[in-house]
A and B are shown apart, each in its own frame.
Chain A
Amino acid sequence: MDDMDMDIPLPEELEFLESNSHFAEQQEEEDRHYYFPDLDPTAEIHESNSQQSPPPPDLAAPSAEPESSGHKRSCPPSPSPPEEEKRAKVRVAVEEDSSAAAADEDWLRYSPPPVPEGEPAVEEMAFEKEKTLSRYASEIDGECMPITAPSGNRVYAKLNRFQGEERVTKLDYNGYSTELSSEPVNVILERLEQEAFAKALEASSEGQSVLDVPEAQMVHERLWVDKYAPKSFTELLSDEQTNREVLLWLKQWDSIVFGSEIRSTSDDVLSALKRHSSIVHNQKPLNSKFPRMSRGPRWSNGRRYKNSRSMDESGSSKSIQDIWNAKSRNIGPPEPKILLLCGPPGLGKTTLAHVAARQCGYHVVEVNASDDRSTATIEAKILDVVQMNSVLSDSRPKCLVVDEIDGALGDGKGAVEVLLKMISSERKPDAGKQSLGKGQQERKSSKKGSKTASLSRPVICICNDLYAPALRPLRQVAKVHIFVQPTVSRVVNRLTYICNKEGMKASAIALTALAEYTECDIRSCLNSLQFLFKKKQALNVFDIGSQVVGQKDMSKNVLDIWKEIFHKRRTKKIERKSHRGKSFEFDSLYSLVSNRGDSNLILDGIHENVLRLNYHDPVMQKTVECFNNLGVYDLMHQYIMHTQQLPLYVYLPLVAITVHHIVSQVQKPTIEWPKSHQRYRTMMMEKMDILNTWHHKIPPYIARNLSASSFVEDLISPLLHILSPPTIRPVAFQLLSDKEKNDLAQLVSTMVSYTITYKTVKSDMLPQTQRCEVADGLALSLVPPISDFINFKDYTSNHNVLSVAMKQVLVHEVEKHKILQVSNDKTGAFTNGGHEVIETGTNNIPLANTNHATAVDMKTNENQANVLSQQLNANPTAVSPNLNSDKSSIAADCGKLLNMGNVKKPSRTSSSFFDRFKKVNVKGLQSNDRSLPEEATLDKDRYPILFKYNEGFTNAVKRPVRMREFLSL
């Protein structure tokens, strides 16, 4: 055993020495640590057999002992420094051994419990280690020999022996305590230590991995969109003509921008000289100014200005002329001071603005109108660009790029307003200067000019939607360039170049499909490619839709949607591609229609334009199918509105897709905006209003039996025939026959009962189809305008049209009839009217004999019309029974008869001498029953004279007067 103990520490010492010298040898040490526990268990077994179990407080004592023993043994040796150093190293090694031993103890505790077969294996391992120890001992001995071979050998052997014993005791104590009393506690502690150790290991490993990964990402993770953005003019993908025009527009600013900046910096002068081939006259003043700056040191701006003034004054006339020429040339900025680039996203609008401005020597300042929305913020930025220059030596004039300007606020807010103010402020001072007004006005204008800033730098605005409402005032001022999509081949070439550089495998066909799918959106293409590249996926032609490549959610113009619906793209003949094309087409159409959201308008457009297409449909089955689908849309939409099941809106775009499948053609369709339905609705409402208004005006005893539909269906067409009879003549009332009078009365009563009349309308207002006398400049038309309801297009109705004279007569009669009707209503003489009708009926019977006499009387009346009017006026003065008085009385009777005829509906009574006589007789009989016999005798004696007198007085004078007349007679 002693020999064994002497051999064990030697390899330990060797290990420690080797660890200090070499890093790689640490692994070997670890391996040897694993071998050490094999030795210890044998010692433990022996000691455990010999000794009894000690109590727990004994553990503290053995731990204290090795320290004291170490100190004691260190005191006796000589105080030489190298020896002390060696001992210190030995102590350090001992401590390390103790820690390693602790770990080994942990392992040992687990090994004893297994089957006793393990023990012989352990013993075999121990023997092997002894052999190895002997080798190292020889080496150590070799090192120790030159210093103090005998004392060194002795000291090391002794220390190792004591330490080994102490370890054995520790092991024994620990083992006994765990086994007997507090095994679970110790087990728990061990587990905790192991867990802590494992966590520490994981943390260290994680730290290492974290350190590596972000560095790699930082190096390689630059976006392809930024990495491969065009740096020069030739790399731009957009249209060549647009690129050149933008560049030319920027060049037009050079006379203002670079001319005025010559004095400030020499670099600008140099760049201007290099770029422009200017006239010799321009070159001379530049050259002359340049040496001044080179001669003198850099002074302040004020001093430079003074020097320039003095030179100009002292200079010759040529220099003065050159200066004037320069000034005249500087007054030449491009007329549209703002450039507006519009187009769909991803076509390179912003890139073009940046590249072109940089090419022309500007420093680009970008302002995003969607970020800076208020006027104050963006005005400050714009003023900075326009009025200030950077202090750096290599400064360039600034060019303002306002991006996403259609996102700006409209109605006097946002970026657009600021730009418009600056442009308008320039014009006002010019107007003020031009006008040779008073001095005060000039002063005011000068003040205003000084206050407001003028636009002396180019401004490029970029937007997606040219027709956004916020851009309406800007469109009128700016120069507009519309970006069209670049060709697919050009985009594919660029994508191929980028894929080759990045080492991504993608075929030209796949790239073509990607470009088509994203509508030549280069930004979307690059982002998709980079994403797929990072996922280690190849670009697949057939799975572009299913892959993460997505389309932007944007709503298109309605006209474009209709074109997409009616236009079929040429599909290739390969079956697979055609299959992909169909599903792709369906998805794109569905997103188009559903994103628009206004399905009513889309379907109206389809309905309006579907019949203009030239599709092959021999038996019109396709047309029927289209209209059936439109009907389905109408039913579904009505159902959604009625039941308020709005989720069903999802199915409405399918109608448009079905129509697309039925009638789409390869040739481009001509689309018109749907107007007919709206026009139909508007005009129908107007005519319905006319009907309702007319319905309310008609007296209720007639209107209650009619409804609006029966008006149009049954009434208007016959009524127009009735209102314009062909038999009526525009002749005086007196000349009409009985039949004609009856017809006229009937017509007038009809017009009155239905509140129809004629009114004068300007001839311009009348439609051309109506017959009207243009010479008069006036035309009478029906009010309400009933004839409009039969004014169908390309239809000529066979209704008779009355002449203007006849219409005027009717208007007059209708007015008269209304007045009489009002008066009759006031008196409320319905029953009396009935009686009168009966009386007139009875009187009509004996009229036949006296018709001729009445005719003669009428003729005489007409012949003496003027005389009659005069005599009517003179009637109250004349009292004597003269011929004149008789005639006047006859005329008055005629007028009354006319009125009575108009009032009474069955006005068949013809005015006759005997009718009037009989009426008077009847009235006389009714009123004066007592004086019947006297009147009879008077009548018999003086028949003609008595009748005349009675007739006149009964109509004009009251009863007392009548008595006087009787007395006089």
Chain B
Amino acid sequence: MLWVDKYRPKTLDQVMVHTDIAHNLKKLVTEQDSPHLLFYGPSGSGKKTLIMALLRQMFGPGAEKVKVENRTWKIDAGSRSLDLELTTLSSANHIEMSPSDAGFQDRYIVQEVIKEMAKNRPIDTKGKKGFKVLVLNDVDKLSREAQHSLRRTMEKYSAYCRLILCCNSSSRVTEAIRSRCLNVRINAPSEEQIVQVLEFIGKKEGLQLPPGFAARIAEKSNRNLRRAILSFETCRVLQYPFTNKQAIPPMDWEEYISEIASDIMKEQSPKRLFQVRGKLYELLINCIPPEIILKRLLYELLRKLDAELKHEVCHWAAYYEYRMRLGQKAIFHIEAFVAKFMSIYKSFLIATFG
């Protein structure tokens, strides 16, 4: 197994990052009742690890024995009847699913699953918790209608079904749902915490880390623990024993965006913009989210800019990212940002050098 899975904490006691949150969750669950929970934070911060540990704390080791189901629901929505198919992970006490995979029909999925869990509630509740847990992933990608339907459902069936919601950005979750959940913020781990985890793994694997090596990996990982551990394992595979100035291999798509930024800085013309468009399409084709592309592009451009233009460029990046989220064709807005940057930079060059 990869180290990122091998050394993943399985219980709340083993959690190294977010120890205080784990402690609070443990106390919350030790009592026989817990509210709906909303875990939010960036990718690679340990949200799902905490959720899995929490479930184990609730239901014991049986929570780890899950099976994959490809279920089909028949839903009568007014005059129509829909057949929805979705993949879920389920154990005796909980179900995990990503309702946003159903596209624009996600509202029906949410309602039907919760109703079904309410119907199949256990009769004998001695020595057991009287509710089941439904884990919903990527709640921020749910449509607004689905979130509205979720709001009524989670109130009505709260006696039998507790929700654990997981999302990256809480601002995209409606306030009505946020107010009905206990919001647990899982922030990105600091570099010190990442270094601590890397040293722990090194000790377990019997590796000798040069001083400062773990810090360099942590810096490169952009405060993403998954990325840090994967980079650590990659360095181990490429070369061991480690050297002080060993090269940490970068992500390929980040390298590609760096090339795009270089192209933009070298020349500002419609012809160059056309070439940049081709490269942006390559990134989008490989399933890299457009928001990530725009953010990374901004980061790369800022590294090459003078201080005078940084603020303006950041403003326009935010402007076009907002429009990109409102719209549907991301290429229009990313390319508009690139054109705007070219215009600003070219004006700056002309004003500076004549």
Binding site for B on A (CB under 8 A): 607, 611-613, 617-621, 623-624, 627-628, 630-631, 633-635, 637-639, 641, 676-677, 679-680, 683-684, 687-688, 691, 696, 700-702, 704-705, 707-710, 712-715, 717-719, 721-722, 725-727, 743, 749-750, 753-754, 788-795, 797-798
Chain A, interface SS category: helix
Q: Check A709–B339 contact: CB distance below 8 A.
A: no
Q: Check A624–B287 contact: CB distance below 8 A.
A: no
- The stretch of B18-26, B113-121, B265-273 that contacts the partner chain: B265-273
**Sample of 7 A–B contacts (CB below 8 Å):** A611-B274, A623-B343, A631-B327, A635-B326, A641-B328, A700-B66, A709-B287
Provide the residues of chain B in CB contact with A788, threshold 8 Å: 286
Provide the residues of chain B in CB contact with A624, threshold 8 Å: 336, 339-340, 343
B 293-331 to A, binary, CB cutoff 8 A, 1 in contact else 0: 000000000000000000000000000100100111101
Q: Choose one: B48, B230, B277, B343; the contact of A719 (CB below 8 Å).
A: B230
Residue ID in chain A nearest B291 by CB atoms: A709
B77: interface (CB < 8 Å): no
Q: Check B44–A792 contact: CB distance below 8 A.
A: no
Q: Check B66–A718 contact: CB distance below 8 A.
A: no
B 69-111 to A, binary, CB cutoff 8 A, 1 in contact else 0: 0000000000000000001010000001010000000000000
Shortest Cβ distance from residue B351 to the other chain A in the assembled complex, whole angstroms: 10
In the bound assembly, the distance between CA atoms of A635 and B67 in angstroms comes to 42
Which of B273, B279, B336 has the largest number of chain A CB atoms within 10 A?
A: B336
B 326-354 to A, binary, CB cutoff 8 A, 1 in contact else 0: 11110111011001101100110010000
Q: Check A631–B332 contact: CB distance below 8 A.
A: yes
Residue ID in chain A nearest B230 by CB atoms: A718
- The stretch of B147-155, B182-190, B193-201, B252-260 that contacts the partner chain: B252-260
Provide the residues of chain A in CB contact with B250, threshold 8 Å: 717
Given A684-B284, A725-B237, CB of A713 within 8 Å of CB of B249: no
B2: interface (CB < 8 Å): yes
Q: Check B68–A714 contact: CB distance below 8 A.
A: no
Q: Check A789–B286 contact: CB distance below 8 A.
A: yes
In the bound assembly, the distance between CA atoms of A638 and B330 in angstroms comes to 12
Provide the residues of chain B in CB contact with A621, threshold 8 Å: 343
Residue ID in chain A nearest B47 by CB atoms: A705
Provide the residues of chain A in CB contact with B137, threshold 8 Å: 707
Known: A607-B332, A623-B343, A701-B64. 9 other contacts (CB 8 A): A620-B342, A627-B332, A630-B332, A634-B333, A638-B328, A704-B66, A709-B287, A719-B2, A793-B282
In the bound assembly, the distance between CA atoms of A721 and B249 in angstroms comes to 9
Provide the residues of chain A in CB contact with B89, threshold 8 Å: 700, 704
Binding site for A on B (CB under 8 A): 1-2, 5, 8, 43-44, 48-49, 52, 64, 66-68, 87, 89, 96, 98, 137-138, 224, 226-227, 230-231, 233-234, 237-238, 249-253, 255-256, 259, 268-271, 273-274, 277-279, 281-289, 292, 320, 323, 326-329, 331-333, 335-336, 339-340, 342-343, 346-347, 350
Which of A679, A680, A749 has the largest number of chain B CB atoms within 10 A?
A: A680
Q: Check A705–B52 contact: CB distance below 8 A.
A: yes
Q: Check B43–A713 contact: CB distance below 8 A.
A: yes
Q: Check A631–B2 contact: CB distance below 8 A.
A: no
Q: Check B52–A704 contact: CB distance below 8 A.
A: yes
Q: Check A620–B285 contact: CB distance below 8 A.
A: no
In the bound assembly, the distance between CA atoms of A727 and B342 in angstroms comes to 45
Q: Check A712–B286 contact: CB distance below 8 A.
A: yes
Q: Check B249–A634 contact: CB distance below 8 A.
A: no
Q: Check B339–A620 contact: CB distance below 8 A.
A: yes
Given A714-B224, A790-B253, CB of A725 within 8 Å of CB of B327: no
In the bound assembly, the distance between CA atoms of A798 and B251 in angstroms comes to 11
Given A631-B333, A696-B68, CB of A712 within 8 Å of CB of B279: no
Q: Check B44–A696 contact: CB distance below 8 A.
A: no
In the bound assembly, the distance between CA atoms of A306 and B348 in angstroms comes to 102
Q: Check A793–B327 contact: CB distance below 8 A.
A: no
Q: Check A718–B332 contact: CB distance below 8 A.
A: no
Residue ID in chain A nearest B337 by CB atoms: A627
Return the 10 tightest CB-CB contacts between A and B, nearest first: A627-B336, A634-B327, A718-B230, A790-B252, A620-B343, A611-B274, A721-B234, A725-B237, A611-B270, A718-B234
Shortest Cβ distance from residue A615 to the other chain B in the assembled complex, whole angstroms: 8
In the bound assembly, the distance between CA atoms of A749 and B2 in angstroms comes to 8
In the bound assembly, the distance between CA atoms of A691 and B230 in angstroms comes to 19
Residue ID in chain A nearest B288 by CB atoms: A712
Provide the residues of chain B in CB contact with A725, threshold 8 Å: 237-238
Q: Check B286–A753 contact: CB distance below 8 A.
A: no
Q: Check A677–B331 contact: CB distance below 8 A.
A: yes
Provide the residues of chain B in CB contact with A619, threshold 8 Å: 343, 346-347, 350
Residue ID in chain A nearest B286 by CB atoms: A789
Which of A621, A631, A637, A687 has the largest number of chain B CB atoms within 10 A?
A: A631
Given A623-B339, A635-B326, A792-B256, CB of A798 within 8 Å of CB of B249: yes
In the bound assembly, the distance between CA atoms of A87 and B258 in angstroms comes to 130
Q: Check B2–A634 contact: CB distance below 8 A.
A: no
Residue ID in chain A nearest B64 by CB atoms: A701
In the bound assembly, the distance between CA atoms of A725 and B268 in angstroms comes to 41
Shortest Cβ distance from residue B260 to the other chain A in the assembled complex, whole angstroms: 10
Residue ID in chain A nearest B67 by CB atoms: A700
Q: Choose one: B237, B270, B336, B346; the contact of A721 (CB below 8 Å).
A: B237
